[in-house]
Amino acid sequence: MKDVPKFAVTTSRRPTSEQVKGAKRIAGELKIPFIERNELSLEDLLQKFFINGIVVVSRQKISCIYGGQEFFFIPEWPGCA
């Protein structure tokens, strides 16, 4: 059986309160952890928390980074403007 990828949700390096709120909401809906970024690079987060992929909530978009690829969309909700 293949290992199931482990994911988490974070924000951009300098998030607004709306971005944090949105990231926590997404983490709750997906039932995966929210990790505070604290100026760490995405690669550092992946290694430190032993995860394979990460959802990043930034001002411009929401990205899913997995296997060196970025998949993103631009939502129309507060926190992404």
CA torsion through residues 22, 26, 32, 37, sign: negative
End-to-end CA distance of the chain: 41
Question: What's the whole-model pTM score?
Answer: 0.85
In CATH terms, the superfamily for domain 7-73 is: Brix domain (3.40.50.10480)
Q: Are 3 and 53 in contact (CB under 8 A)?
A: no
What are 70-79's contacts with CB under 8 Å, separation 24+? 77/22, 78/18, 78/22, 79/16, 79/18, 79/19, 79/21, 79/22
Give the Cα separation of 56 and 62 in Å (integer). 6
One pLDDT digit (tens) per residue for the chain, 81 residues:
456 679 999 999 999 999 999 999 999 999 999 999 988 999 999 999 999 999 999 988 999 999 889 998 887 765 555
